Structure 1
């Protein structure tokens, strides 16, 4: 018979053997198993973001308007225009869709404004216009300006980004010039009502190509400064045009995934356009400028 000591010794040896076999099996498995493959994450694909900004442009007019060969000098502030426009109607908005460095741009402004005799004065007549008219009574202009273009970010230095842009600017105008009839004048091409003669342009349309640049600077989180300038026309539509815009945007808050920002700034737009000769001559050599106020939505 085996003693208790012998049986205990054999049990201990068997337990140690099982442990060594298990350890050896695990060690062999670790040596034979290949290392886990590293996981490579695909780079994030840039997504589209959109910004829509309805705005008001408190525009003033300085320049010369020619309707059917009759030219008048216009010098009217925004207050002058508001005081003398029966219905000051405006539809204005700016849209941008961006994907990485690439952006699509669109802008529209439609206004119907009036300027009275205090801010309009007669100038020299066009060649071929005989006789004379008295002091001009007023000028009413219905005008639409629509821009489309593309922009591309060509450089970035921290918070400062530089874009180049190109596109086209479409113009539509209808101008009515009313004047006093104070002397003998050939008025066969004018509409006369009482002591007033009206020169009506009808619909005038043209398209200007344009090129420009833009600076975008993040002043602080949620605060951004934009500066833009462009030139256009080049004799294709107008003889020449240029534009300068500076705006400052500041976040107001986010609602249902849409970030709203206030926008303040200043916009200046100049164009020199002429078509026709003599009594068919139409010209718009005008500087439009004034503060810009709006609210943008980004999503």
Structure 2
């Protein structure tokens, strides 16, 4: 029973780590302007804030030697346990090149009582950090469509602490596990101009290839509304998968759910 409760509480912690999504900037022509794109003489910048209401499904063994357990959690489960999260992204575009940095940090503390007299309760603290950096090149652009292709790296760190507090056994267990890895990735981003201030963004990447994780991929799509020349509001859906295994530690999950974002360009 201790094992089952531990896996459940830590799975909620992992889920909170997913409250993020990459910048969806697409640099399409200004709203209402059907003109052909022009060459940009200097750099332009954008910052994006966002939230991702994610569910998580998969299998994880994040406290070796406990075996892997199935995970299936909804977004509402994590909101009860979230201590806080910091997230943001920035992008710089120079002519056909763009450079994106995206970072997120979250912490969740979960806990509960344990059955039986030997232990009183358990507490699980999960910290997650993800930093994504990519360089894109605009391979095609007209007044309606833009296509970027590029590559980069995604840095992962999971830092977990399990505490089992004593009961009649007068035994306290304090166990810490931390894993860090870096995945190379390749990806593409497609922007489609619709009527008026509306546009679509489709993006995806794949990586890992045994360098860090066995495989990681993500896919997202959004509908965008250009409020003005500087502010764009976005709503869409994103899925992120990673399969990482090392010395009894495994994290093979898919996070997916709706997302909203706001991008400011200057």
TM-score, structure 2 normalization: 0.73
Give per-residue Cα distances to partners, 1:73-131, cap 9 Å, x unaligned.
22111101113x0x4412122221112211101111222236779xxxxxxxxxxxxxx
DSSP-derived class of the 1:253 partner: coil
Give per-residue Cα distances to partners, 1:11-30, cap 9 Å, x unaligned.
xxxxxxxxxxxxxxxxxxxx
CA spacing shift, 1:207–1:90, aligned 2, 3 Å = same
DSSP-derived class of the 1:203 partner: strand
Structure 1 residue corresponding to 2:128, chosen from 143, 158, 169? 143
Structure 2 residue corresponding to 1:56, chosen from 29, 37, 51? 51
DSSP-derived class of the 1:220 partner: coil
Q: What is the RMSD of the two structures over their aligned residues, measured on CA atoms? A: 2.7
Give per-residue Cα distances to partners, 1:121-170, cap 9 Å, x unaligned.
xxxxxxxxxxxxxxx97864321111001001112354111111100000
Q: Counterparts in 2 of 1:1-299, with a 5 A limit? A: 46-66=41-61, 67-70=63-66, 71-83=68-80, 85=81, 87-113=82-108, 140-176=125-161, 193-194=166-167, 200-253=175-228, 259-276=230-247, 281-299=248-266
Structure 2 gaps, min length 5: 1-37, 113-120
DSSP-derived class of the 2:228 partner: strand
Structure 1 gaps, min length 5: 1-42, 118-135, 179-190
By percentage of residues, which structure has more helix?
1
* 8 Å Cα contact 1:266-1:292 kept in structure 2: yes
Distance 2:265 2:76 in 1: 32
Distance 1:115 1:245 in 2: 30
* 8 Å Cα contact 2:40-2:94 kept in structure 1: no
Moved more, 245-254 or 227-236: 245-254
Following TM superposition, where does structure 1 have runs of at least 4 consecutive aligned residues deviating by more than 4 angstroms? 114-117, 136-140, 195-199
* 8 Å Cα contact 2:242-2:254 kept in structure 1: yes
TM-score, structure 1 normalization: 0.65
Distance 2:50 2:262 in 1: 7
Moved more, 144-153 or 287-296: 287-296
Counterpart of 2:27? none
CA spacing shift, 1:159–1:44, aligned 2, 3 Å = closer
* 8 Å Cα contact 2:160-2:176 kept in structure 1: yes
Please state how far the C-alpha of 1:253 moved relative to its aligned partner: 3.5
Give per-residue Cα distances to partners, 1:234-292, cap 9 Å, x unaligned.
100111111111122212236xxxx122121222111111111xxxx211111112221
Moved more, 205-214 or 283-292: 283-292
CA spacing shift, 1:225–1:88, aligned 2, 3 Å = farther
Paired residue total:
218
DSSP-derived class of the 1:79 partner: helix
DSSP-derived class of the 2:138 partner: strand
